[in-house]
Chains A and B, each alone.
Chain A
Amino acid sequence: MEQVKKTSGGERLYKVFIYVALITLAVLILVPVAWVFMASIKENSEFYANPWALPAGFHFQNFVEAWTEARMGDYMLSSVLVTALALAILLVVALPAAYALSRFHFRGRRFFSTCFMAGLFINVNYIVVPIFLMLVDGDKFLRGIFGRGFLLNNIVVLALVYASTALPFTIYLLSGYFSTLPHAYEEAAYIDGAGYGRTMVKIIFPMAKPSIITIILFNFLSFWNEYIIAMTLLTDPNGTRTLPVGLMNLTQAQQSAAQYGRLYAGLVLVMLPTLLLYVCVQKKLTQGMTLGGLKG
């Protein structure tokens, strides 16, 4: 498929150099990840030997222990629920907002756009404490009225917080895409008698599909991997947690028997869904980006 022209020596050397660089980086990335998969089926005692040694056998027990005793199975379910819900909320809220802000001129538009832009600077990790306190106060208030609060330990609220904190980035990305579209699309739709809402949902959103897929993927990853907010808002000791929080517990347990096998099995359980999803959609992701989603 490639037409290799007559290339000079320098050209060939350059090609070799490029391949060496590319392959080196690929190896640097693949080997540690592959190593975790290998380690996850090792027995505990093997971790004290040469790290490059192949597993002595297939010690599947690690996964069973991680799934049941370390409750990774439960955590997996809540991670799935929270992530899916947060994505749904985010899309429903962010898409119309981005559309309105990027394609209509109205009073306050600049103000709101600037606000959302400024939101890009707000680091979730230091507003998590005020968010938590706000929910605590909310719960106290609700307890006064209904006898019980339901804001904390509620994966719906966690999903809401996830969606809200992802708004600036998502609106920013989508607006960037929407503003590149020619106005002719809407004008044609209006002439055909379609209303604003109909035009937005039927004409514009389908065109934005690649961008939407991009933001779904990005936000899926950030929601799935997040641990600081999850740790803070899901407070019920016997209740649920998300996978990364459960994993943190596995890595830092002191004074209890060191269980490396179970730890690496837990790592695999956290990585696997993202890797699988990524392998399936990576094409759509890059497509979405090249189609102008990030042209700024």
Chain B
Amino acid sequence: MEKGKGRKRFLFFCVAPAVLLFTVFMVIPSLNVFRMSLFRRSAYSPTEEFVGLENFTKLFGDANFIRSIQNTILLIVVVTIVTFGFALVFAGILTREKIKGQNFFRVIFYVPNILSVVVISAIFSAIYDTNNGILNSLLSLFSPEKVAILWKGEGMVMTSLIIAMVWQAIGYYMVMYMASMSSVPESVYESANLDGAGRVTQFFRITLPLIWTNIRTTLTFFIISTINMAFLFVKAMTNGNPNGASEVALSYMYKQAYTNSSYGYGMAIGALVFLFSFALSAVVNKVTERDALEF
């Protein structure tokens, strides 16, 4: 094209503001996370002391940190699998089946996703109350004696978190899958129908392969957002109680940085979680690689 200079200027003005904001508020702070993880620094005194990798070596001997990482991984795995399964199935039902009130269901399922985590946590506090809770009083209806499950006790607290997180996430992923499923042309299913393929076969042979790119993307979303949401939920719902049983990586980072005045240590946790999420996403991305199917 002849307008080479105008094109350049146009592209510059398109991209520059985004790159600038992105650099200032995301790239530099991220690099700072890594830099600070090499220092010992407390919250209120400005002195910094370079300690090299000491913060990291301490982390591996810190039982509380290891537990918080285990809890994080547990959440990533279980929340992803459960949410993924439900979201796919419900998306399949709502797009493929003739359902009365189809739109109604789609609207309702998405509701938790628009609520603040602070709100959801408060709701689940009411649900999980041992003596007067919505859940235990409901279960008591089906049981000869009063149910008193300790939903926020040591044994159940992770399960309770998982339930709350799945409750929150299903709608979001369902709508995502519905979007890509409904773009699969009807003709593909029609010919499958002629071949006599059943619903389940169609779901696994047609729907899943054709939306595979979308599924891969959402798996990455799952990893990132579960780490993030786990922190928001724990902060607002349990703060790591009881006795650290529900501590997750980022809530532990927060505690160390703010409550224990170990700033560099907190950033070391942040750096490690960051690398971990990146590596895990790369692995998942690699493992799920398939030849893209076109329709």
Contacts and interface: CB of A to CB of B under 8 A. Distances in A.
Partners in one complex: yes
Contact of B179 (A97, A171, A197, A294): A294
B53 interface: no
A126 to B, nearest CB: 4
B147 interface: no
A58 interface: no
B42 interface: no
B6 A196 contact: yes
B236 A51 contact: no
Contact of B126 (A51, A130, A224, A295): A51
A294 to B, nearest CB: 5
A124 B176 contact: no
A134 B117 contact: no
Given A18-B93, A18-B97, A93 B21 contact: yes
A22 B224 contact: no
Contacts of A289: 175-176, 178-179
Interface string B262-278: 01001100100110011
B126 A35 contact: yes
Given A32-B127, A122-B30, A294 B214 contact: yes
A195 B115 CA distance: 43
Contacts of B26: 119, 122, 127, 164-165, 167-168
A257 B102 CA distance: 46
Contacts of A51: 126, 129, 132-134, 137
Interface string B66-86: 000000000000000000001
B220 interface: yes
A70 interface: no
A163 B86 CA distance: 32
A244 B199 CA distance: 44
A197 B180 CA distance: 31
Contacts of A134: 24, 28-29, 32
Interface string A11-38: 0001000110110011011111101100
A112 B15 contact: yes
How many B residues touch the partner, as a band? 35 or more
A133 B263 CA distance: 12
B293 interface: no
A22 B90 contact: yes
B261 interface: no
A97 B228 contact: no
Contact of B33 (A96, A127, A247): A127
A85 interface: no
Interface string A121-135: 111111111110110
A282 B189 CA distance: 28
A213 interface: no
B11 A104 contact: yes
B99 A22 contact: yes
A104 B113 CA distance: 35
A97 B19 CA distance: 9
Nearest to A196: B10
B17 A93 contact: yes
Q: Identify whether the interface residues of B are mostly helix, strand, loop, or mixed.
A: helix
Contacts of B127: 32
B122 A131 contact: no
A39 B179 CA distance: 36
Nearest to B111: A29
Interface in A156-192: 160-161, 163-165, 167-168, 171, 190
Contact of A244 (B28, B118, B183, B253): B118
B134 A22 contact: no
A115 B30 CA distance: 13
Contact of A290 (B132, B179, B231): B179
A293 B179 contact: yes
Contact of A131 (B15, B25, B100, B129): B25
Interface of B: 1, 3, 6-8, 10-11, 13-15, 17-19, 21-22, 24-30, 32-33, 36, 86, 90, 93, 97-100, 104-119, 121-127, 129, 132-134, 137, 167, 170-171, 175-176, 178-180, 182-183, 199, 213-214, 217, 220, 224, 227-228, 231-232, 235-236, 250, 253-254, 257, 263, 266-267, 270, 273-274, 277-278, 281
Closest 4 CB pairs of A and B: A97-B18, A289-B179, A225-B116, A164-B25
Interface of A: 2, 14, 18-19, 21-22, 25-26, 28-33, 35-36, 39, 48-52, 92-94, 96-97, 99-101, 104, 106, 112, 115-116, 119-131, 133-134, 160-161, 163-165, 167-168, 171, 190, 195-197, 200, 221, 224-225, 227-228, 243-244, 247-248, 251, 263-264, 267, 270-271, 274-275, 278-279, 282, 285-286, 289-290, 292-296
9 contacts: A2-B98, A14-B199, A33-B123, A130-B30, A196-B6, A200-B14, A225-B116, A294-B214, A296-B214
